[in-house]
Amino acid sequence: MSGMIESGRFRVAPGSRPRLADQDSLIAPFYASRGDYRRQLQRHVKALSRLQRVHYAANAHALLVIFQAMDAAGKDGAIAHVMSGLNPQGCEVTSFKHPTESELTRDFLWRAATKLPERGRIGVFNRSYYEEVLIVRVHPELLLSEGVPGREAGAADVWRDRYRSICDFEAHLTRNGTKIVKIFLHLSKDEQRRRFLSRIDEPEKNWKFSMADIEERRFWDSYMEAYEACLDATSTAGAPWFIVPADDKPNARLIVSQIVLDALRELHPQFPKTSKARRAELDTVRAALLAETRGT
């Protein structure tokens, strides 16, 4: 059944460690039919486009939207559909792959810091610095390649310190005008299996499938534990996490679009007010242009 989407329903309250096994990955749809889904999404996209125009003109805040999820959860599709109506001039999507050798010689937040959105812009991170407390936690041997001094791979204080660094980093950004929204697309293991099979069975999807995806699937329980710890430690009032049920792709996209729309509205963007001096300048230019018309 269709209905209004309350984005707060999916917000992770600070200090409440969620158990993902108790979180639904499939809920009643907010759309009545495929046509209804398309109409709702189009309304959201149009509203986002209008708000982005004001946000860009206001040049007062930045919006950073972070997506994290297991493989095949639909990050790419959600970003493509929800952000489809935005002006590329004011929106940038960054996909974070495995760190390069150069990036590994720097602190784990550095490469993300270089991709942060400017005021007036919207930045979208497809994966992010959170990989450093997710995949690196599941595979602590990766920590050795980072050369962090005085650390043993898998030591508990590594993750505690990284959570603290992340929260401090995000608090700093928030204080300086960047609103942060973090979205975890919650996919069930059964649905991931179905999507992997689809990628194998449909030739046009073969390119999406990697044997590494199957290898990581073996660590599903470890990833769920890592996500639970991460969501608990880093969902704050200023930079909240949202757990979005992702087994139904259209439903997930509607929820995501509502979350992003609400976040942009909370910034209360306004077109810049014209000062008296600027108004006088514009009136002078207007009079000159009209004079040109009369002279022809």
* 118 within some domain: yes
Q: Residue 7 and residue 258: Cα distance in Å, rounded?
A: 6
Q: State the CATH number of the domain containing residue 189.
A: 3.40.50.300
* Angle, vertex CA 148, rays to CA 143 and CA 153, nearest 5: 35
**Distance set, CA 133 to CA 7, 16, 226 (Å):** 26, 18, 7
* 129 within some domain: yes
Q: Which ranges of the chain have pLDDT less than 50? A: 1
* 1 within some domain: no
Query: Tell me: the pLDDT tens digits for 189-231?
Result: 999 999 999 999 988 888 878 888 889 999 999 999 999 999 9
pLDDT, residue 1, reads 42
pLDDT, residue 42, reads 96
* 205 within some domain: yes
Model confidence, pTM? 0.92
Instruction: For residue 128, give the nearest of 144, 112, 110 by alpha carbon.
Output: 112
Q: Residue 234 and residue 181: Cα distance in Å, rounded?
A: 12
* 14 within some domain: yes
- For residue 64, give its domain range: 7-295
> Domain total for the chain?
1
Q: Residue 43 and residue 82: Cα distance in Å, rounded?
A: 11
**Distance set, CA 33 to CA 29, 41, 70, 158 (Å):** 9, 12, 27, 47
* 2 within some domain: no
pLDDT, residue 295, reads 62
Q: Residue 12 and residue 14: Cα distance in Å, rounded?
A: 6
Q: How many helices and strands in the chain, by DSSP H and E?
A: 12, 5
